[in-house]
Amino acid sequence: MVRILSSILDFLAPKLCPGCGRALLSAEEEMCADCLDECATLPERRCPRCGGPADGLLDECRQCQLEDDDRPWKLAVSAFPFEGKARHWIHEFKYRGGLHLAPFLAERLADAWRTYGGNEPLDGIVPVPLHWFRRLTRGYNQTDVLAGLLGRRLGLPKIPCLRRTRRTRQQARMNKEERRRNVRHAFACRTSPAGRRLLLLDDVFTTGSTLKAATEALLDGGASSVSVLTIARDL
């Protein structure tokens, strides 16, 4: 009965592709085949520490070995490379109220974590917070919304224990050193994460400066481990 009802509903109001808005065919589940085709993927063999391509015989890539202190988390996993379709979707999701993309992105994030997160035990998901002023002008924190949907898929609670201590400038055009200065001490704990094993969620892994600052705040607050999950990874 439920199935009949749901096919009648599909017929009356077909599910739309969150990527391009066209009606999904019955074989297409969450996104149309065209959008999926155009969506680039990350290499299968990845560095566990940064989620980028593995580049040698060692487990960790050269960049991670060089930047050991700048990557204080345990594992980093991303769902997409930050280019093409994924880049466009993140932009929509972040700045244009593209919340309809959230379930699809949460599904891809859950998949990426199940595949590359190993069997890392976790206690909860921490969304990287926006400064209250930015949140007010944007109306929502996209990462917060995503953390809730992802949590349901992974069976983990959202633990919004971080806050921004000050407003930071937009980083899109900054180099690594500028980003590092921009976000230094930009986060603090609102509630104690002591003893928790946490998964920090953000939209894009670029230089890792924001993720580093947020991870350090959690570790300073007593978190027992922090791993990182982002929608996309700059390559």
**Does 49 engage in binding with Zn ion (CB under 5 A)?**
yes
Question: Could you tell me which of 33, 34, 53, 50 has the C-alpha nearest to residue 42?
Answer: 53
Of positions 39, 42, 46, 50, contacts Zn ion by CB under 5 A? 50
The Cα–Cα gap between 194 and 201 comes to 18
CB 54 to Zn ion: min, Å = 8
For residue 175, give the DSSP letter: -
CB 76 to Zn ion: min, Å = 8
Of positions 39, 42, 46, 64, contacts Zn ion by CB under 5 A? 64
Question: Could you tell me which of 110, 112, 107, 106 has the C-alpha nearest to residue 79?
Answer: 112
**Does 32 engage in binding with Zn ion (CB under 5 A)?**
yes
Question: Could you tell me which of 97, 178, 199, 109 has the C-alpha nearest to residue 146?
Answer: 109
Strand pairing category for 225-233 and 197-205 = parallel
CB 166 to Zn ion: min, Å = 29
Strand partners, 26: none
Question: Could you tell me which of 100, 74, 76, 73 has the C-alpha nearest to residue 89?
Answer: 100
Task: Please give the single-letter amino acid code of residue 12.
Answer: L
If the CB atoms of residues 38 and 144 are measured against Zn ion, the closer one turns out to be 38
**Does 25 engage in binding with Zn ion (CB under 5 A)?**
no
CB 25 to Zn ion: min, Å = 11
Identify which range of 8-16, 56-64, 93-101, 199-207 contacts Zn ion by CB under 5 A.
Answer: 56-64
**Does 101 engage in binding with Zn ion (CB under 5 A)?**
no
**Does 19 engage in binding with Zn ion (CB under 5 A)?**
yes
**Does 77 engage in binding with Zn ion (CB under 5 A)?**
no
Binding site for Zn ion (CB under 5 A): 17, 19-20, 32, 35, 47, 49-50, 61, 64
